[in-house]
Structure 1
């Protein structure tokens, strides 16, 4: 599932569960639920938190920095092997 990125005030769906720690995310995802994470307002903190929570399996993110967080989530999925990279380059040394 591609993660959903919402801005504050956007409507949330029933069935999304607000979580606060990566352990809560893992437990919820293991039981078949969808984890919702509210990211901090500061950009650096939001990007770091998004990557950690996505790696743990969170699927819905609420942030003021939607475009930047989307890029961080795509990168995290690529590193985890669940999404193909947008561009691949092969370097010769």
Structure 2
């Protein structure tokens, strides 16, 4: 989905239901009002090898764009590094 498509969906919701609060699911399995200063953000999404944590294999990670790819020492280069927008 593109940002423009997401904006259109949100505008449709606003027209139908008014200016609703946005909530998000947290790492602690709770629902909380969305007040994050960190999102939405542009981030890179990648696979890591996770050699020391087998339960994490084939899991996606995300990182800041200002961190050089060379610093991601265990990135699995057989899978693509994708830049995406987390909304």
* TM range, smaller chain: under 0.3
Q: TM-score, normalised by structure 1?
A: 0.21
Higher helix proportion (structure 1 or 2)? 1
Structure showing greater radius of gyration is: 2
Q: Give TM-score, length-normalised by structure 2.
A: 0.22
More strand by share: 2
